[in-house]
Structure 1
Amino acid sequence: MQMLLRKILLDPFLIMLLGAMLLAALLPARGDAADVLDWVVTAAIALLFFLYGAKLSPSAVASGLLHWRLQSLVFICTYGIFPVLGLIASHVLRGHLPDDLVLGILFLCLLPSTVQSSIAFTSIARGNVAAAITSASLSNLAGVFVTPLLVGLIIGAQGGESFDLSSVGDIALQILLPFAIGQLCRPLIGKFLQRHARMTQFTDRGAILLVVYAAFSEGMVAGVWSHVDGTDLIWILATACILLALILAITALLGKLLGFSREDQITILFCGSKKSLATGVPMAGILFAGQSVSLVVLPLMIFHQIQLFICALLAQRYAAHADADANAVNTVVQAVETKA
């Protein structure tokens, strides 16, 4: 457990994210450099979702759809219950936090689930890994359509100026089109990407770091950080912890009440409670272009680290219980065989 805690607390990607923020604070991109960075970020986002499309197996999605009850519940938790929690939180926090930070908290609640960590934690906890793969993949695929729609319906209805419907076209051009091309190219490069998983992981994280650096650079140049203080960070941290605790409790309770197996309950818990940094940061850059994107994505970055920490502990606990149950069963079997 101590090794697990050290690994999470010293997450290399978290350190890199903090490094990107620090670099933006010390050396923000300005003028022509900022224009070039915008083009680089756009290309990086396109490459990121091209690789997502190339890695996602249509056959895996089709097989996972057979477990429609589980997939439907995860979808409802991700795009129904979570947004409701976000709306409640945004109303409570309005007046306590700057508008862009409140917007960021609501935005993170509208995002799809993570892919890699949802599958990894489900596997560690001895859950239904096949269902987790499908659920996380479908969540991200649906998020390309559903998240912009929810942003338009919820955030646009609340703020009016916070969301431009023309952003939907940008989403289609920068995210959906590369994803579709990736799907078409999957027969040609799918196996190559499986053999070089570390290369694709480097691309994922590199794209996110670029977007974070660009967003925080823009924030530094515009002077938006003068509006954030320690009290704001405490509010965000507390809100992220409360949101995660609520959604974990809700997914766990629904899994039991609806009669899912232990393995399926684990999948629902981990896939229905997470929000994707990899998808959220690029989307924020597109949906809220021209605004304080650095402030909008700050709650997501904080929530992301908290969810990794808490879910890692939960996965280890589930695994320990599963091992204990297996040992108990083996002991009973051995006792019966000895008497026989």
Structure 2
Amino acid sequence: MIWRSLRRHWFLFGLGFAFAIGFGAGPKAAWLLDLPYLRSGFVFTVMWITGLTLRGDAIRRCVAQPLGGAMACGLNMIIVPALCYVAAIVLTPELGGGLYVAGLAPCTLASAAIWTRRAGGDDSIALLTTIVTNLACVAVVPIGLWIGLGRQAEIPIVGQIQKLFWVVVVPLLLAQATRRLGGAAAADNNRGLLAFLAQIGILVMVFFGAIASRQLMDQSDQPMGWFAGAMLLMTILAAATVHVAALLGGIRLARLGGLSQDRQIAVGFSGSQKTLMVGLQIAIDCGVSVVPMIIYHLSQLFIDTYVADRWAIAHAKHGGNQPPDPTGSLSGNSGPTDAT
């Protein structure tokens, strides 16, 4: 039973283990953060590996009906950062800055599409949102950092643009070029291996982030003990609240826009999810805590799995036809979804 649980949830256990080791190592491992191109190299590699699994042909389906993709991108790049900025008011500067960085991070490279398909949604919207937000982060993130954190820390705007271009945009473009040059079949046939390698890279970045968090805590004059526990609880509540608000808000917005239920699902998931890899890199560079980014990632894993399973069960009960909205009890609407 324990072994089965470890095999099924090894990544969640790995996140905790990697953070604990990095946080405990603290000053002894700080020299790793100063090695040139080490962190950037891991981010580049993971982005390239994950980008290999993105199917460019699915984007054409979404471009023909762009409203859903536009809603999801706007939600991901504008609304979620704004919600995080407001929620960060109740946190310490380090945790609040980390939560705001989590909001600025682009959409996940794989899980948004996976959860959308799992729930019976249109994954073309999720794929489009993934590509657009990751490519646009070269401009969105530096501008967002200047607006939200400019007074808290000196943000090298040009440096952030250059770094994000090389560690996000370039590997994604190379990955798509690899698929077009004959690597698509190999990538599709080895999705499991590629996902495993990407997760290992994320764990390494969590380790680096934990080292940076320990340095930040050692330099902070904030009291520990009960205060630290209260702030951690507030961070969990803030991250989960922002994610749920964005998820349900995206579904409701798409419904008001007259989109079909499968596209409502896609807008909700892809508009609310944030990638851990890029968020960790930005948080470390900006000198804010990586804890909110990790918490946001964990909350979306648990919350979206629950919501996706409810959608899947509802679809199964209705034989693949459009069922009543299974998120109604969460959003306050238990009636059927508008079919238009």
Q: TM-score, normalised by structure 2?
A: 0.81
Cα distance, 1:7 vs structure 2: 6.4
What's 2:332 paired with? none
- The answer to whether the aligner puts 1:232 opposite 2:231 as a matched pair is yes
Q: CA, structure 1 residues 328+59, in 2 after alignment: closer, same or farther (shift >3 Å)?
A: closer
What's 1:310 paired with? 303
Confirm or deny: 8 A CA contact 1:121 1:312 kept in the other structure: yes
Q: Deviations along 1:108-128, whole A, 9 cap, x unmatched?
A: 111222232222222222112
Percent of pairs with identical residues: 21
After superposition, the CA RMSD in angstroms is 3.0
Q: Deviations along 1:198-236, whole A, 9 cap, x unmatched?
A: 332233122222222122223335625884610110110
Q: Distance in 2 between matches of 1:232 and 1:32?
A: 25
Confirm or deny: 8 A CA contact 1:48 1:204 kept in the other structure: yes
- The answer to whether the aligner puts 1:51 opposite 2:49 as a matched pair is yes
Cα distance, 1:131 vs structure 2: 3.0
- The answer to whether the aligner puts 1:68 opposite 2:66 as a matched pair is yes
Cα distance, 1:69 vs structure 2: 0.5
Cα distance, 1:35 vs structure 2: 5.8
Confirm or deny: 8 A CA contact 2:43 2:277 kept in the other structure: no
Matched residues, number: 313
- The answer to whether the aligner puts 1:270 opposite 2:269 as a matched pair is yes
Aligned 1:114-193 pairs, distance under 5 A:
114-156=108-150, 158-159=151-152, 161-165=153-157, 166-186=159-179, 187-193=181-187
- The answer to whether the aligner puts 1:40 opposite 2:38 as a matched pair is yes
Of residues 98-107 and 237-246 in structure 1, the stretch that sits farther from structure 2 once superposed is 237-246
Cα distance, 1:189 vs structure 2: 3.0
Confirm or deny: 8 A CA contact 2:50 2:109 kept in the other structure: no
Of residues 306-315 and 45-54 in structure 1, the stretch that sits farther from structure 2 once superposed is 45-54
What's 1:282 paired with? 281
Residue aligned with 2:318, SS: helix
Q: CA, structure 1 residues 313+134, in 2 after alignment: closer, same or farther (shift >3 Å)?
A: same
What's 2:16 paired with? 18
Larger radius of gyration: 1
Q: TM-score, normalised by structure 1?
A: 0.81
Confirm or deny: 8 A CA contact 1:85 1:243 kept in the other structure: yes
Letter paired with 2:172: F
Confirm or deny: 8 A CA contact 1:38 1:214 kept in the other structure: no
Of residues 233-242 and 21-30 in structure 1, the stretch that sits farther from structure 2 once superposed is 21-30
Q: Distance in 2 between matches of 1:50 and 1:26?
A: 30
Higher helix fraction: Structure 1 or Structure 2? 1
Confirm or deny: 8 A CA contact 1:61 1:138 kept in the other structure: no
Gap runs ≥5 in structure 2: 323-340
Letter paired with 1:107: V
Of residues 221-230 and 70-79 in structure 1, the stretch that sits farther from structure 2 once superposed is 221-230
Cα distance, 1:73 vs structure 2: 0.6
Gap runs ≥5 in structure 1: 330-340
Cα distance, 1:188 vs structure 2: 4.2
Q: Distance in 2 between matches of 1:31 and 1:316?
A: 41
Confirm or deny: 8 A CA contact 2:50 2:110 kept in the other structure: no
Q: CA, structure 1 residues 258+125, in 2 after alignment: closer, same or farther (shift >3 Å)?
A: same
Residue aligned with 2:104, SS: coil
Q: Distance in 1 between matches of 2:320 and 2:95?
A: 48
Cα distance, 1:36 vs structure 2: 7.3
